Structure formats: structure tokens, C-alpha cells
């Protein structure tokens, strides 16, 4: 066939050859796509993870050799026949096996693919069979030379190009001679085979590298999750359990619900000299690990300094100086401290930029008016003020962080102070634990399926016994 017609235009022999090579290339690419799908499915098998971790054994070598030997057979069966010669990607399977696991797996795959090709016969049966075996062994040798180092995509493509060229330009002429017929076959078959084999192995190793990256990311995520879980356990272990105090003069309950594995909220509750109870609720700026570390520092400082017997304002000033020292990250903490005299009901507040608390009594629910002050950790010489009121027996004080009022639903609406006050009003006759639980349930119902945006912390204390009521500013 020296000439053919296309679109009414007489094309020469050269054009015909180019068309045949192009058609062969397209057919090979289509068949290669099937192979790559098979390769992708293979890499998703859990056992394939041993390859990525370089955990080989004779059993795995045999298994790999068999799998990629079958792929080699598929490369032969899906070949494009021209001039009695099979243009194929048979050597791809043994080459991949060799690059993945070494000469044993590569040699086994090569023997399977080569034996199958030999049984098919044809003028190129012998050189093709030999080349297929050598492809697995040579690539396996390259694996040994790499000594366990990852094989890059371009290295795999270069090795594939080398063994394909060895097949076409060395082994075939040595076995069959270099007649004009053989020259014509090589000119027709080798260009598409080189391109398809190199593209195929490059795409396979691209898939493999992506899988490896996925496995590494999963392992890293598992490690981080484990560390965060431990960090949360440590963080929560630092917090007191107010309900375990067991003092008949009051009932108290606290809740801290981090938005993520760890959070930046804190609370504190302890009895000082059997006469006063100290309550504190704080919120560290930011989220995640950095906030949790700053929370831990603040919690420890508060616990240590609160035993001094100082009033809340003086305590805030000392805490502020400590937190400003070396605070290069410029993190800050809002903190509300209350000292309640368990006999008289006298309550002294110190506020460092935190949400004012609510007072719950039979007459209703009121949000206290407190001087806001400045958050701790911003300005070293900040001065805070003590603010007083007197609680009556039956009064409940409710402290919280802005995660309560700033909880957001799917419509980007905030829970807000109005809803919080309504819930507290409905629960005003309940004990502190029931109040905290009821607020949490209301927030959960309001938020729905939306991800929490901030930590939620609440601390409620009901005074069982106290002196006469004193003045209080409310709104």
C-alpha cells in the first residue's frame, strides 16, 4: 500500500506512515487508559500499603510478580497489530514491578509476560520475550541501586525509555538482523511504543506518589489527632470540678465545651480560708493549640496568685503583669473574678474586659453593670477597680464566655444576650447544674448542624445562706 486517499487529497507514502503511526498511538493510549484504571484500583487495596512502606517478603514479591505479569499479558493482548508486529506496552508491567520491589518481582513479572508472548509466536517472538524479562530485571537492578530511596517520576520514565529502546534498537536487531523489513517495523512501531510506555509509567508513579502522600497525610493527621486528644485530657484535667466541693452553703456547677479538640476558655472555683469562694471565668484570644497553651499558663497563674488573699482588682493587676512579660505573640485574656463572702453575701468583682455576669433571683434575671476594664496581657501597668454588690440567699450568679452569646446558626444569626436572658428567666428556679444544662441544650437547638465557632464556658453558683441584701447596679 504505497498511497491512500483522505478527503479527496492524494497522500504520499510518508503521510500514510505518519497517519498509521498516529492511529497506532491513539489505539495504544486508549488501551493504556484501561491499564491505568486497573493500576489505580490496585493501589487502593490495603495490602498495597506494604509497597509504600517498603515492607517486602518473598510472598509479596511473588504476588507482585503475578499481578504485574498479568498486566504484562494484558499489554500484549491489547496490542495494536501492524505488519505482523504487535505494538504494545507489555514491558510496562515488569518494569513497574522491578521499580517497586526489585529484581525478583520484576523478573517474575517478566517471565510471565515473556512466556506468554513467546507462545504467541511471530517473527519478533524471541526478541520480545527476552526484552520483557530484561525489562523487569534491569528496572529491579535500578531499585537496588536506589537503596530504598523513592523513585521519582522522571527516573521511572527514563528507565522505561531505556528498556524500550534496548528492546527495539538492540535486542531485536541482534536476534533478527537489521534488514529493511526490520527497519520499517522499528520506524513504525517504536515511536508510539516509546511514548506510550513512558507516559504510562509516569502516570502510574504519579498515582503512586499521590497515594503515598495520602497515606502520609493520614498518618500525620492520626498523630496530630492523638496529640490533640492527649492535650485536651491534660487541659480538662487542669480544671477544678466545682460540684465536688460539697459545701452546704452553696451549689455550684461549671461547663467548658471547646469548639475544637482544645480551647482557650478557662474557669476557676475554690474556697479561700473557709470564708470566701472565688469564681473566675476567662477567654483567651485565638483558637487551637496556641490558645490552649496560653489558657494553661493563665490557669496556673490564677490558681497560684489567688491564694494570696488579695482583692480581685489587685489579683488582676498581678496576673496582667505576669501575662505581659515576654508576651511576644500579643495574646490576651479576658477574665472576670468574683470573691463571695459565704456568710454575708458580699461579692467583690474585678473585670478584665470580660462579659458581665447575670444575677438570677425570684424578682427576675438581671445583667450586672461592671466597669469593663482592659483585657490582660495588653498593657502592663493597667489599673483595675473592685466593684461590690451583696447577694441574698437563693440568688444565683451566672458567669459565661462570649461563646455562649456568639453561637451562630446556619443563617449566621447569633444566639445573643436576649435569648440567653430568656433561657435564664425560664430556668430561674433551677439548680446551677440544671441551668447550665438548659442553656447548653438551648444553644444546641439554636445552632443545629452548624459547626461551633467558639468555646462555650459557663459557671453558675447559687448561694444557700447570706446576709441582708445590699445595693446593686443592674440593667
Reported as a single tens digit per residue, the pLDDT across 48-77 is 655 555 556 778 788 888 888 988 888 888
- Rounded Cα distance, 328 and 335, in Å: 20
- Rounded Cα distance, 374 and 127, in Å: 85
Query: For the chain, what percent of residues have pLDDT higher than 90?
Result: 35
> CB-based burial of residue 131 (10 Å sphere; 0-12 exposed, 13-18 middle, 19+ buried)?
buried
Least confident residue range of 8-12, 48-52, 368-372: 8-12
Highest mean pLDDT: which of 185-194, 252-261, 347-356?
Answer: 347-356
Predicted TM-score (pTM) of the model is 0.62
pLDDT of residue 347 exceeding 90: yes
Least confident residue range of 33-42, 126-135, 417-426: 33-42
Q: Mean of the pLDDT values across residues 454-470?
A: 77
How would residue 78 be classed by pLDDT, with cut points 50, 70 and 90? confident
How would residue 362 be classed by pLDDT, with cut points 50, 70 and 90? confident
pLDDT of residue 350 exceeding 70: yes
Greatest distance between any 2 Cα atoms in the chain: 117
Reported as a single tens digit per residue, the pLDDT across 95-116 is 988 998 889 999 999 999 999 9
For residue 204, list its beta bridge partners.
Answer: none
- Rounded Cα distance, 317 and 269, in Å: 19
pLDDT of residue 437 exceeding 90: yes
Which residue has better confidence, 25 or 315? Answer: 315
pLDDT at position 132 is: 92
Residue with cell 517474575: 108
pLDDT at position 346 is: 93
pLDDT of residue 24 exceeding 60: no
Mean of the per-residue pLDDT values for the chain?
Answer: 82
In the three-class reduction of DSSP (H, G, I as helix; E, B as strand; rest coil), residue 289 is classed as: helix
pLDDT of residue 81 exceeding 50: yes
pLDDT at position 27 is: 57
Reported as a single tens digit per residue, the pLDDT across 149-201 is 888 989 999 998 999 888 888 888 888 887 777 787 777 777 777 888 888 88
Which cell numbers hold the place of 424? 435564664
Domains of the chain in sequence order: 4-222 (1.10.1760.20), 242-463 (3.60.40.10)
Which residue has better confidence, 351 or 22? Answer: 351
Least confident residue range of 38-52, 220-234, 416-430: 38-52
pLDDT at position 328 is: 79
Which cell numbers hold the place of 137? 530485571
pLDDT at position 468 is: 42
pLDDT at position 382 is: 92
Contacts of 340 (CB under 8 A, 6+ apart): 250, 276, 277, 279, 346, 347, 391, 397, 461, 463
User: H or E stretch including 396?
Assistant: strand 396-400
Least confident residue range of 38-42, 172-176, 207-211: 38-42
How would residue 5 be classed by pLDDT, with cut points 50, 70 and 90? very low
Query: For the chain, what percent of residues have pLDDT higher than 70?
Result: 84
pLDDT at position 308 is: 79
Which residue has better confidence, 23 or 469? Answer: 23
How would residue 41 be classed by pLDDT, with cut points 50, 70 and 90? low
Reported as a single tens digit per residue, the pLDDT across 380-391 is 889 999 999 899
Which residue has better confidence, 390 or 239? Answer: 390
Is residue 436 within 8 A of residue 460, CB to CB? The reply is yes
The number of beta carbons lying within 10 Å of the beta carbon of residue 16 is 15
Sign (positive or negative) of CA dihedral 175, 180, 185, 190: positive
Least confident residue range of 31-35, 55-59, 327-331: 31-35
Amino acid at each position: 500500500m504505497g498511497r491512500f486517499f483522505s478527503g479527496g487529497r492524494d497522500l504520499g507514502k510518508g503521510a500514510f506512515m505518519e497517519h498509521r503511526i498516529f492511529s497506532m498511538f491513539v489505539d495504544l493510549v486508549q488501551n493504556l487508559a484501561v491499564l491505568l484504571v486497573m493500576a489505580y484500583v490496585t493501589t487502593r487495596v490495603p495490602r498495597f500499603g506494604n509497597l509504600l512502606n517498603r515492607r517486602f517478603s518473598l510472598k509479596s514479591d511473588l504476588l507482585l510478580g503475578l499481578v504485574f505479569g498479568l498486566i504484562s499479558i494484558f499489554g500484549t493482548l491489547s496490542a495494536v497489530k501492524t505488519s505482523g508486529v504487535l505494538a504494545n506496552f507489555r514491558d510496562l508491567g515488569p518494569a513497574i514491578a522491578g521499580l517497586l520491589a526489585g529484581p525478583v518481582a520484576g523478573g517474575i513479572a517478566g517471565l510471565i509476560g515473556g512466556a506468554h508472548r513467546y507462545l504467541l509466536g511471530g517473527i519478533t517472538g524471541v526478541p520480545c520475550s527476552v526484552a520483557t524479562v530484561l525489562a523487569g530485571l534491569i528496572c529491579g537492578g535500578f531499585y537496588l541501586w536506589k537503596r530504598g530511596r523513592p523513585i521519582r517520576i522522571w527516573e521511572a520514565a527514563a528507565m522505561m525509555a531505556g528498556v524500550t529502546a534496548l528492546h527495539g534498537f538492540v535486542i531485536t536487531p541482534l536476534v533478527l538482523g537489521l534488514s529493511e523489513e526490520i527497519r520499517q517495523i522499528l520506524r513504525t512501531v517504536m515511536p508510539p511504543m516509546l511514548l506510550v510506555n513512558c507516559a504510562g509509567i509516569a502516570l502510574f508513579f504519579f498515582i503512586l506518589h499521590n497515594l503515598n502522600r495520602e497515606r502520609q497525610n493520614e498518618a500525620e493527621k492520626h498523630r496530630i489527632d492523638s496529640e490533640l486528644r492527649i492535650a485536651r485530657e491534660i487541659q480538662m484535667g487542669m480544671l477544678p470540678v466545682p460540684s465536688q466541693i460539697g459545701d452546704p452553703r452553696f451549689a455550684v456547677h461549671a461547663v467548658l465545651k471547646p469548639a475544637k479538640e482544645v480551647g482557650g476558655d478557662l474557669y476557676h472555683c475554690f474556697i479561700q480560708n473557709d470564708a470566701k469562694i472565688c469564681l473566675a471565668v476567662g477567654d483567651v484570644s485565638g483558637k487551637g493549640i496556641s490558645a490552649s497553651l496560653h489558657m494553661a499558663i493563665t490557669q496556673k497563674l490564677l490558681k497560684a496568685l489567688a491564694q494570696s488573699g488579695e482583692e480581685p482588682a489587685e489579683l488582676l493587676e498581678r496576673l496582667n503583669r505576669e501575662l505581659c512579660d515576654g508576651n511576644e505573640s500579643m495574646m490576651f485574656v479576658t477574665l472576670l473574678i468574683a470573691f463571695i463572702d459565704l456568710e454575708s453575701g458580699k461579692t467583690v468583682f474585678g473585670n478584665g474586659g470580660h462579659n458581665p455576669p447575670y444575677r438570677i433571683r425570684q424578682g427576675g434575671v438581671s445583667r450586672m453593670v461592671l466597669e469593663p476594664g482592659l483585657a490582660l496581657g495588653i498593657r502592663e501597668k493597667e489599673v483595675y477597680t473592685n466593684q461590690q454588690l451583696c447577694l441574698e440567699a437563693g440568688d444565683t450568679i451566672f458567669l459565661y464566655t462570649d461563646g455562649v452569646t456568639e453561637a451562630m446558626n446556619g443563617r449566621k444569626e447569633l444566639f445573643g444576650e436576649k435569648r440567653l436572658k430568656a433561657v435564664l428567666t425560664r430556668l430561674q428556679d433551677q439548680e446551677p447544674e440544671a441551668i447550665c444544662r438548659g442553656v447548653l441544650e438551648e444553644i444546641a437547638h439554636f445552632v443545629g448542624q452548624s459547626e461551633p465557632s467558639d468555646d462555650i464556658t459557663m459557671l453558675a453558683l447559687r448561694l444557700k445562706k447570706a446576709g441582708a441584701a445590699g445595693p446593686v447596679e443592674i440593667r
